[in-house]
Chains A and B, each alone.
Chain A
Amino acid sequence: MPPLPVPAAVPLSYYLILSAVLFALGVAGFLFRRSLITVFMSIELMLNAVNLTFVAFSYQHKQVDGHLFTFFVMVVAAAEAAVGLAIILTVYKNRGTLAVDEIDSLKL
């Protein structure tokens, strides 16, 4: 099978800038949104921004390490989503709210 044609039109920096924008969006969402679910989604967004960086570098350098890391991250993210959503459900059942600043019973 002949190798896929390399899309030469898209340089590495585009991937990295996209990844940075996604990561920044994730951070902003984590910091500024009140809803626990949105915060959770923002974390996923940050993880995926990092995944994108890994894959982009991996492709650029023709090495497989970045792909491997990406798979690990995806596995952990899937597990985290399962556990995290279960926690969110339980919190909502117990507290009746998902506003982050109201879930503060560990604070003094």
Chain B
Amino acid sequence: MHHLWLIPFFPLAGFLVNGLFGKRLSKGAVGMVAIGSVVLSFLWALKALFGLAPLETAHVERYFTWIQSGSLVIPYELAVDRLTAIMLMVVTGIGSLIHIYATGYMHEEEGFYRFFAYLNLFMFFMLTLVLANNYLLLFVGWEGVGLCSYLLIGFYFLKHSASTAGNKAFIVNRIGDAGYSVAIFLIFLTFGTLDFPKVMEAAKALPVEASAGILTAICLLLLVGATGKSAQVPLYVWLPDAMEGPTPVSALIHAATMVTAGVYMVTRSAALFLHAPIAMETVAWIGLATAVMAATIGITQYDIKKVYAYSTVSQLGYMFLALGVGAFSAGIWHVVTHAFFKALLFLGAGSVIHALHHEQDMRHMGGLRKKIPITFAVLTCAWLAISGVPFTSGWYSKEAILGAVHHHSPLMYWIGVGTAAVTAFYVSRSMFMTFWGEYKGHAHPHESPPVMWLPLAALAVLSLAGGALFNVPHILEPMFPQGHGEHDFMLEVIGSGAGLLGIALAYVMYVANPGLPASIASSLGGVYRLVYNKYYVDEAYDAAVVRPIVNGSRTGLWQFADVWLIDGMVNGAGSFARWLGGGLRRLQSGSIRAYAAWVVAGAVIFIIAAGAIAGVQGGLR
């Protein structure tokens, strides 16, 4: 036993302490509890992993039987294999850094303890998600992180846009979760178990012709779940709005960890997906569509966090593209490096926003290079990494993905390369608009405290060197053997060239000729407006889904079913009884002779009826 349960337990304990007593504790104590619990979790995970090395096969710890109902037996089992180990390190490692950063960032905010209670709760659920050894326990973590995401997006719940953004994230995720639930049912029906190892063994043993249909259905439904949680087309719309939450939340939940849960889940189910080629192809195309769409939207946005949000969606699309072409380890590699540089981008953006007193519009920034040099330096590292400048972390994972994609389909490869150039372009644009030129705002920028920039520095090192330090495909070799190991030098040159081209183009447009973007935008007119308004996807969903539901609920459910039908039936029963009583009331006149008259009338009717019956019977006889 390596007591894996302690890994999620520490943040849970931190959540309980901060949630129950946080109001009475000082901010320092709350911060210590929050950071301490996550760091302890990180250290314990590290200790367990060292104890378990080299972890060729999965290490499973069974604690108790959670659910037993007929043939459905769900044990509470935590398991570690190499995939989980990578996710554990990312979640607890990045999580620790972001917790440290957040104590500085959130220091002046109301509800400090509430923030950290939620953040710790998130860590608990995220760790449950990655440690779970069956689909149901994974679902517990899956839903739990969704809950924490909702709570933290709506952290400034007095702000209307924040609470609606929280609702949007929660509701859109429900759609995905419905797919995931049905997938669980189908898995249980098909395999009679929900344990990952047993399901994967059974899937491998199934003959292809017998299993293709059901496995495709299962995989597509799992993909529906993943598109919700990991913000893929068509359910990505919640993630950009999720930026209403505090910036550390954007970094931790909506960039580094939670949104990669879909990638993790699909990778975990790799054995199923490998038997469902149609589902794989769907994954790839959805990923590619997401990557292209979000990247182009990213070009036109002015809110610095929105740019990075669309960038996150786009990068998640890259990961799905990798999964879809069967390069699971490359996808996970991108999860890891993306966690480094995207967390850094968000935290750096948070540092800029912090420095400018909550200014997020890049048109009011500029020239901050000299004013907040540390933030500039660390953001530069993230910029280089996401742009795919050679030998940064992002370069490694992106080249791994693009190489695998080229092997699968050259068309997809070229679209992917184009997207890489666009990615480099919009991130460079945000950098140039923020740090070059003249300062156009009115605040007095100040550098963030060390508690904020020290985690940034750590992430900066990881962004630059993380790809070389952690060769994920090599680590995952026992689980996902690499079919085509040889590197194609030409592909790497093309991929790197695309990134550098994007940077150069952004330099030309935003530093050398600052008037150029506006004239290009006006000459493109309609296309620019289409992209600037995010392809009107929100409006389309509003018209196609939200309004019909609202109107249907209002007219159909409320005014018809509730007011007319149900209230009508209840009120109708009441007024019928009233009407009947009103009529019968007249019988009860109190006049003896009226009663006597009724008696006589009754007797007369009775005698006539008896006579008639007797007459009829007599006639029949």
Contact = CB atoms under 8 A, between A and B. Distances in A.
A31 B590 contact: no
A100 interface: yes
Contact of B590 (A27, A30, A104): A104
A104 B594 CA distance: 13
B219 to A, nearest CB: 79
A100 B600 contact: no
A100 B595 CA distance: 14
A95 interface: no
A73 B178 CA distance: 84
Residue from B590, B591, B593, B596 having most chain A Cβ neighbours under 10 A: B593
Interface string B583-621: 000000011110011001000000000000000000000
A100 B590 contact: no
Interface residues of B, number: 7
A108 B590 CA distance: 8
Contacts of B600: 27, 31
Contacts of B596: 27, 30-31
Interface of chain A, helix or strand or loop or mixed?
helix
Contacts of A104: 590-591
A104 B596 CA distance: 16
Interface in A9-67: 27, 30-31
Interface in A56-108: 100-101, 104, 106-108
B128 to A, nearest CB: 73
Nearest to B593: A31
A107 B590 contact: yes
Nearest to A107: B590
B69 to A, nearest CB: 64
Contacts of B592: 100
A15 to B, nearest CB: 18
B593 A106 contact: no
Nearest to B594: A31
A91 B596 CA distance: 21
Nearest to A100: B593
Nearest to A108: B590
Contacts of A31: 593, 596-597, 600
What 4 A-B pairs come out closest when comparing CB atoms? A107-B590, A31-B593, A27-B600, A31-B597
17 contacts: A27-B596, A27-B600, A30-B593, A30-B596, A31-B593, A31-B596, A31-B597, A31-B600, A100-B592, A100-B593, A101-B591, A104-B590, A104-B591, A106-B590, A107-B590, A107-B591, A108-B590
